[in-house]
Amino acid sequence: MPAAGTDILIINDFSIQVATVNGSGSQTANLVLLRSIFQMGIPVSGKNLFPSNIAGLPTWYTIRANKDGYVARKKEIDLLVAMNAETAREDVLALGPGAAVVYDEPLKLDQLRQDLVFYPVPFDRIVAEVCKDAKLRRLVKNMIYDGVLSQLLNIDLAQMEHALRRQMGKKLKAIELNLAALEAGKKFAAEHLVKQDPYVVEPMDKTQGQILMEGNAAGALGCMMAGVTVVAWYPITPSSSLPETLIQYMKKYRMDKTSGKATFAIVQAEDEIAAVGMVLGAGWAGARAMTSTSGPGISLMGEFTGLSYYAEVPGVVFDIQRVGPSTGLPTRTAQGDILTVAMLSHGDTKQIMLLPATVEECYTTAMDAFDLAERFQTLIFVLSDLDLGMNTWMSNPFEYPTKPLDRGKLLDQDALQRMGEFGRYKDIDGDGITFRTIPGDGMPAYFTRGSGHNERGQYSERPDDYVNNVQRLARKFETARQYVPPPVIDQAPGARVGIIAYGTTHFAVEESRSHLANDAGLPTSYLRLRAYPFTDDLPAFIERHDRLYVVEQNRDGQMLSLMRMELDPSLTSKLRSVRHFNGLPIDARSVTDEILTQEKQAGLQGARSHAVPVGPAV
Amino acid sequence: MSITTPEPGKKINRIGLEVQPYRGGKTTLCAGCGHNAISERIIDAFFEMGVDPKRVIKLSGIGCSSKSPAYFLGGAHGFNSVHGRMPSVATGAMLANKQLVAIGVSGDGDTGAIGIGQFVHLMRRNVPVIYIIEDNGCYGLTKGQFSPTADLGSVLKNGVVNDLPPIDTCSLAIELGASFVARSFSGDKKQLLSILKAALSHRGTCMIDVISPCVTFNDHEGSTKSYAYVKDHEEPVGDISFVPFFEDISIDYEPGTATEVRMHDGSRLFLKKVAADYDPTDKSTALKLIRDSGLRGEFATGMLYIEPAKHDFTTLLNLVDEPLATLPLERVRPGRDVLDAIMESLK
């Protein structure tokens, strides 16, 4: 007997996992499924868990629908669509009791478990009936499970058709074939399957006016709106779709109307070293320049990053983080580059990092990054991750930027007068930021070098010149605290416990906070970091709470380590660590369980505040 | 900078500048270093061609050679970047502002070893840069190790014999797509000056390998990059006469003895042939010439290969005429309608 009967319905609150073979064309069916639920007004997210492979290896697509708007990965799978013979057994055995399984009939999965709901579907037989051309069957077979789910979950078939048509554009023959498969799937389910699971979709109005977008596309759009002119990049998962989307946007919207020529240069470089080298060259010559990469590329960019820091050359680097090392788990998500990037390069370096959490922030942060790069004359790192960059998220539509571009301190006559003689590295404002000139601007030239230089930019190995320069760079970093996006704080009245997180961890934290408050009676305040260096909001927030959980997606609590380096021990002793690092996006249940475990220990230890962070939540 | 009337007798060039802004800081290289002679020729070429230093960027990697941009064109912006990576910095700068004139100085280690990857792709893209290799076959700043252009069998001062064949940077550049490839010798003032002036008239990558003996580590008996060895084994492929676009001089050669090349800016290059079948606009003959002279133990100098009409990288990318770096906001930020349309497509 299935654990759940149809007498209790669970409406608009479930997760679907579709297990297929990579390269089998399931992406269309999955996006149609996601979009049709979205069109019915229910908050959704779609996550692709895919292997480092072109075709043949297993891949999973997870859709979460949640009436309350929680769209982090759900740890439990409520409905499995098992299309991949290779993983079907393991996938079924991993399910929780009461879950439902739509499966390819010959796999005979119903013999594996007694506590699940099974829906066998003869996919090959159905597809053979609707698709006469045997070569095309593989491509439309997946659409049949959409049809089956339409029937089982009560998803409006018209919404699926709408989603399909927008997905396929003008490919009429393909639309016709896929529609036939969709209808055949629904018809089969209606005639042969008896609904036994509790999950259903009912129309809502929570997605009105919203968009569906991937973070990398949003970042690309932000770069275009920021007026980027030089882009150099090297292909790497999960970053490539950012520059690739940018190329599409720029070719469409940034060709000069009168001359028909490009107002931008985009170069696929020979490697990441060359990519960031081009960014530095372009930034030095006055352009808004960027690159996008992932962890391994960041490592290769290390030397140039140091040059950028010391020689003070602007540029923007997107790091779409993934699991390390170079080969590592290249198609799995992580927040593992925090410490590497914060300290990137040799010598005394500190880098400015921006930490978007949502697709909308990918868009706005891109624009902030270019302004900050020119203001601070250094590389600005935007740390996204695979989950944000490559997965599909709901968002409010983006707002058109109204702020003018901040081109930073470019030498003009006024500054020159105040300075007397031009000194490239002379700090006349006391904020650590000096005036630069760009080649061709007719202003005094200077010689740019990473090696020792004095205020006038002349070669110098004098101890006092070196110390003055690196002290000023430290002062500049202090100034940045006033310019970077401040954290977003939600102070819960009377809460003694605080949570600190950043990036995509946000979604699991938001949901976990509702678990903690509603199910465990533990109200929490929340600070979401949006940049490094930290602003004064962080120590003030820590001050206001007894215990704080820093939640992040890496093994060693990298952001927590940065806080330990910067903040007073009386504050950092209050910090505990919650970590998730198995390559899957973090989920709320893991966060909640780990916080409650640690809270219990804190309770046993009484008021002692020297608790060492305990184990990770995996 | 204000233009002052020059003192009587002081030479000024065609844009009214004295030689001063073309000079640089005092060299810190060894006395007699070939690189200093190359800096002198660069000063002469830019001065005589009347290139405004304020439009020039000079870039380098790391090494003795890469220090030299500090010793010429003090009025130009300079960028001493990282080892072997100057090509990418130069590429970025030229994309940002294609109206600039870029001169990059590298060495044989900076190019042939750590920087070979970026060198390859600079040539392949035909980025408008004058790329000079100050080639002495050894690492000077780290005290005399062999570099990848050292000849097979060449001997270091301490007796170490080079047992790997050299990379011929000129052959490589021709193969890869550079549109202006020359080799010269730091001691050959006239030839080097003509080549540099011609390079200033060319739009595309100008790869100039200049043999430039290292007086401290590689100028002894047994070295194939010493002054004495180079003087004995240099084989000029022919006289070069360069007539800049702003001079109206006619040069008469007997028919069939010279090739006339019309440059991007209207200047003319007359290349007198030593061998009747040598055609500097033909890749195969250029590569054969380099190879044949190499097999004889000699090295060919002069204008080895030129392709004046080849599109440079900024043309290939179809860039607007103005520098990208200074395009106003309204030309780089699409309008509200564009954002609205994109948002609508995602709903």
Q: Which CATH number is B305's domain given?
A: 3.40.50.970
The pLDDT of residue A6 is 54
> Is B54 within 8 Å of chain A by CB?
yes
Cα–Cα distance, B282 to A588 (Å, whole number): 68
Interface test with B, best of A447, A454, A459, A461 (most B CBs within 10 A): A447
Give the pLDDT band (50/70/90) at residue B252. confident
Q: Which residue stretches of chain A have pLDDT < 70?
A: 1-6, 605-618
- Which listed CATH number (3.90.550.10, 3.40.190.10, 3.40.50.720, 3.40.920.10) goes with A10-200? 3.40.920.10
Residue at token pair 């301490």: B158
Cα–Cα distance, B145 to B147 (Å, whole number): 7
Cα–Cα distance, A135 to A148 (Å, whole number): 23
- Which listed CATH number (3.40.50.2300, 3.40.50.720, 3.40.50.920, 3.40.50.300) goes with A488-604? 3.40.50.920
Amino acid making up residue B146: F
Question: Which residue from B59, B100, B317 is facing A265, i.e. has the nearest CB?
Answer: B317
The pLDDT of residue B245 is 93
Question: How many domains does chain B divide into?
Answer: 1
Interface test with B, best of A35, A207, A225, A229 (most B CBs within 10 A): A229
Using alpha carbons, list the distances in angstroms from residue A61 to A110, A333, A511, B257, B335: 22, 14, 21, 72, 36
Share of chain B above pLDDT 90, in %: 80
Among A303, A343, A377, residue whose Cα is nearest residue A566 = A343
Among B332, B41, B15, residue whose Cα is nearest residue A230 = B332
The pLDDT of residue A261 is 98
> Is A520 within 8 Å of chain B by CB?
no
Mean pLDDT of B301-317: 95
Give the pLDDT band (50/70/90) at residue B196. very high
Residue of A nearest to B77 (CA): A445
Question: Which residue from A224, A266, A307 is facing B82, i.e. has the nearest CB?
Answer: A307
For domain A215-395, give the CATH superfamily: Thiamin diphosphate (ThDP)-binding fold, Pyr/PP domains (3.40.50.970)
Contact B26, A459 (CB under 8 A): no
Domain annotation covers residue B345: no
Residues 101-130 of B with CB under 8 A from A: 117-118, 120-121, 125
Tell me whether residues A265 and B118 touch, CB distance under 8 A.
no
Work out how many CB contacts closer than 8 A connect A with B: 217
Long-range contacts of A244-251 (CB under 8 A, 24+ apart): A245/A216, A245/A217, A245/A220, A245/A221, A246/A220, A249/A220, A249/A221, A249/A224, A249/B342, A250/A224
Domain annotation covers residue B336: no
Residues 457-486 of A with CB under 8 A from B: 459
Cα–Cα distance, A207 to A394 (Å, whole number): 8
Residue of B nearest to A273 (CA): B85
Using alpha carbons, list the distances in angstroms from residue A388 to A47, A219, A526, B256: 9, 10, 20, 67
Residues 6+ apart with CB under 8 A from A503: A335, A355, A356, A357, A383, A384, A385, A388, A553
* Residue-number span of the structural domain to which B301 is assigned: 20-329
Measured between beta carbons, the chain B residues lying within 8 angstroms of A274 are 85, 87-88, 91, 117-118, 121
Cα-only R_g, chain B: 21
The pLDDT of residue A608 is 45
> Is B338 within 8 Å of chain A by CB?
yes
Cα–Cα distance, A485 to A365 (Å, whole number): 8
Domain annotation covers residue B243: yes
Beta bridge partners of A526: A490, A499
Tell me whether residues A437 and B342 touch, CB distance under 8 A.
no
Question: Which residue from A249, A253, A265 is facing B324, i.e. has the nearest CB?
Answer: A265
Q: Are strands B56-60 and B77-80 parallel, antiparallel or unpaired?
A: parallel
Question: Which residue from B53, B79, B320 is facing A261, i.e. has the nearest CB?
Answer: B320
Please give the DSSP secondary-structure letter assigned to residue B325.
Answer: G
Domain boundaries, chain A: 10-200, 215-395, 413-480, 488-604
Domain annotation covers residue B288: yes
The yes-or-no answer to whether A215-395 and A488-604 have a common fold is yes
Residues 212-271 of B with CB under 8 A from A: none
pLDDT tens across B112-134, in order?
999 999 999 999 999 999 999 99
Tell me whether residues A280 and B89 touch, CB distance under 8 A.
yes
The pLDDT of residue A567 is 97
Residue of B nearest to A308 (CA): B81
Cα–Cα distance, A588 to A509 (Å, whole number): 6
Q: Mean pLDDT in chain B?
A: 93
ipTM: 0.95
> Is B34 within 8 Å of chain A by CB?
no
- From the number of C-beta atoms within 10 Å of its C-beta (0-12, 13-18, 19+), residue B133 rates as buried
Cα–Cα distance, A538 to A113 (Å, whole number): 50
Residue of A nearest to B117 (CA): A270
Question: Which residue from A225, A303, A398 is facing B333, i.e. has the nearest CB?
Answer: A225
Q: Are strands A547-552 and A575-579 parallel, antiparallel or unpaired?
A: parallel
Residue A2 or residue B100, greater confidence: B100
pLDDT tens across B33-56, in order?
999 999 999 999 999 999 999 999
Q: Kindly tell me if the per-residue pLDDT of B9 is higher than 60.
A: yes
What SS3 class is residue B67?
helix
Tell me whether residues A439 and B76 touch, CB distance under 8 A.
yes
Beta bridge partners of B180: B206, B306
Distance from CA of B90 to the nearest CA of A (A): 6
Q: Kindly tell me if the per-residue pLDDT of B104 is higher than 50.
A: yes
Residues 286-315 of B with CB under 8 A from A: 314
Give the pLDDT band (50/70/90) at residue B237. confident
Beta bridge partners of A316: A290, A380
Contact A54, A22 (CB under 8 A): yes
